């Protein structure tokens, strides 16, 4: 089956043309299961309150802001695996974080997003056959040798907010603030969740130079 989004309809028509009634019922039940899980995903809303500890909400907010809906099937896959007991809470959070690192590091470096459809398609196919989803995910991402490679920590550790456009700088500042709130940093006197809109991070802009060495969050610098 082709991984081209434009050929989804054609591919599925070809996929089901020789199936019998029972096989079609099973396929519909599978689609229904995925649809139910999809409907429960916490998609982005400017009026939604965010905290750093909610990994799925953070992942979907980041992919929304960076306009990378290509990765939503990965979120759906992990959510379904967790519900079916094939992914523990720790593995679930770590797997989402690993994909988040991949996306954010590449965004920080201004690398191409071309080819992400194929990566997501191949990744889900690989993980669907795995008995250790997190380890398989890690191995898959590190094995990419094309222009879609997984950047190493040292490639981003010396970047500054000055390198980024407003949208990306705002996104990073937002999650820095929430990370600091979670950890009770001296820079944040609140641990309350935040809504994502421009005004809420204006007060963090004066930290621009203080944050130069830590702005990318330690999590993005770790493998």
* Integer Rg of the chain from CA: 19
DSSP reduced 3-state for 106: helix
Encode pLDDT of 139-172 as tens digits.
999 999 999 999 998 888 777 666 778 788 788 8
200 shares a domain with 163: yes
- For residue 110, pLDDT over 60 is answered with yes
117 shares a domain with 72: yes
170 shares a domain with 134: no
**DSSP sequence for 37-99:** HHHHS----TTSEE-TT-HHHHHHHHHHHTT-GGGHHHHHHHHHHHHTTSS-HHHHHHHHHHH
What residues make up the domain containing 169?
Answer: 155-221
Encode pLDDT of 44-101 as tens digits.
887 888 888 899 999 999 999 999 999 999 999 999 999 999 999 999 999 999 999 9
Q: At what angle do helices 166-183 and 55-65 cross, to 10 degrees?
A: 170
166 shares a domain with 138: no
Q: Determine the average pLDDT of the residues in 103-119.
A: 93
Instruction: Say which DSSP state 137 is in.
Output: H
**Looking at per-residue confidence, does 215 or 34 come out higher?**
34
Which of residues 153, 171, 201 is at a domain's end? 153
**Structural domains in the chain (count):** 2
81 shares a domain with 16: yes
Tokens of 208: 């621009």
184 shares a domain with 132: no
């Amino acid at each position: 089956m082709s991984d081209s989004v434009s050929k989804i309809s054609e591919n599925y028509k070809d996929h089901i043309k020789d199936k019998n009634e029972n096989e079609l019922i099973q396929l519909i039940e599978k689609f229904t299961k995925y649809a139910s899980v999809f409907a429960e995903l916490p998609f982005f809303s400017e009026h939604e309150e965010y905290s750093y500890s909610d990994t799925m909400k953070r992942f979907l907010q980041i992919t929304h802001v960076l306009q990378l809906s290509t990765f939503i099937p990965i979120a759906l896959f992990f959510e379904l695996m967790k519900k079916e007991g094939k992914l523990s809470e720790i593995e679930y959070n770590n797997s989402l974080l690993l994909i988040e690192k991949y996306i954010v590091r590449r965004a920080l470096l201004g690398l191409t997003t071309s080819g992400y459809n194929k990566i997501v398609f191949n990744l889900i196919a690989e993980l669907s056959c795995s008995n250790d989803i997190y380890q398989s995910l890690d191995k898959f991402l590190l094995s990419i040798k094309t222009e879609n490679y997984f950047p190493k920590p040292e490639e981003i550790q010396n970047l500054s907010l000055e390198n980024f456009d407003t949208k990306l700088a705002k996104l990073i500042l937002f999650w820095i603030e929430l990370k600091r709130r979670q950890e009770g940093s001296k820079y944040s006197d609140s641990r309350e969740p935040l809504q994502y809109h421009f005004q809420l991070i204006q007060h963090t802009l004066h930290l621009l130079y203080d944050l130069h060495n830590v702005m990318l969050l330690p999590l993005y610098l770790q493998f």
